[in-house]
Structure formats: C-alpha cells, structure tokens
Amino acid sequence: MARLKTHDEALRLRLLHRAAATVFDRGTAALSLRQLAADVKTSTTAVYSLFGNKAGLLRSLYEEAARLFVARLAAIRPTDDPAGDVIRLGLVYREYAIANPHLYAILFSDRSVQCPSESESESESERPREAIETYRPLVDAVRRGQQAGQFGPESDPEVIALSVWGTAHGLVSLVLSGNEPPGLAVADCYERALGVLVAGWRVSEGEAQGFAEVP
C-alpha cells in the first residue's frame, strides 16, 4: 500500500497563509515555526520538511504572494484599448490588496526582513526576477499604448508605468493602514484618480497623428 503523503501542497498553503497573518499582525520576530505548526495542527517536522527553516518559509511566503499577484494581473487580457488596460491593471492591483492584505504586506515589505539569513547579494539577485514579473504587465500595456498612439513615443514606458504603480500603491496603502483622509473614501475616487493620471500621459488625437507621420 502506498504511504499517505501528508506534507502536500494544501498543507504548504495553509502554513504560508497562517505565517502571512502572523507576520502582518506582529512582524517576523513573532513568527515561531513551533507555534505555526500548532496553529495549523501539524508537526514542526512538516514545517521543516516543506521549507527547511524560517528563512526558507519567509522566502516561500514572498514567492507565493508574488505568484498570486502575477496570476491576478495575468487575468487582464490585452485589448485594443491599452490605456484602458492600464487602468484595469490598477483596479486589479487594488482588488488583490484588499482581498489579500497579509500577502500584499509581505509582497511590498523590506526583502531583508523577509529573508534575514540571506546575504545581500543573494537577496538582490532574486528580487529583480520577482519584481519584473509583477511589474511587466503594466509596462507592456504602456508600450502597446505607445504603439497604438495613445502615449507619446518619446516617453519612457517604465516612467509612465511607475507613476501609475505609485499612485495605486499609495492609495491602497492609505486604505489598508486606516489613514484615509476624514470624509474621503479612496474607494469612491480610486478609479477616477487612475483615469486622470493616465489621461495626463495620453497624447491628443492631433499629436498622435503627428507622431504617426514622423519617418
């Protein structure tokens, strides 16, 4: 008879989500592998088997947060309105953060806190790959917008993307931290704020025609 596999993907995900909640509420210093195992009703052996050690758990936690975020962004399929796609990506950004505040906090926390045992060179070598995966859909949408004449070709697509990303991150952070301005709900103006920002980067129809005529 085959031996029952108990250290499976379902257990790994339960451990990750519980660990994310602990880190979100009390920080990485409060994360105990023994307590985590007890909370999920498994053994510390299972935790070590799945993650190796605390640093491995934190690294996996970051990777899981990034994986889910990338999957949500990938659900926005490119259309013939790239500028609109940029706004839709911003809306998905907010949806992910509100639905997964613990994972969102891990995703945008200090990488050195997530993986304290890694050397600086190891941490820096891993972060660009993960950051690119979460950032690429937005940059790609801006580039498609340039090709469609919606954004000026002289603009750096990464700068446009960064401005949208920064606005989304700032507004979402106000909500999650409970620091919305009194009497002003971010949810009521979030999409409009993104729309105005994107409109500011867009070129007029006349300008777009002029760009198209440049040899």
The CA distance from 17 to 51, in Å, is 14
Chain centroid, CA 82 distance in Å: 20
Phi-psi region of 118 (alpha: psi -120 to 50; beta: other; left: phi over 0): beta
Residues 22-40 pLDDT 10s:
988 888 888 999 999 999 9
Share of the chain above pLDDT 90, in %: 59
Residues 154-187 pLDDT 10s:
889 999 999 999 999 999 999 999 999 998 899 9
Q: Would you mind telling me the total number of residues written for the chain in this entry?
A: 215
- Under-50 pLDDT residues of the chain: 1-4, 112-114, 116-126, 128, 205-206, 208-212, 214-215
Its pTM stands at 0.79
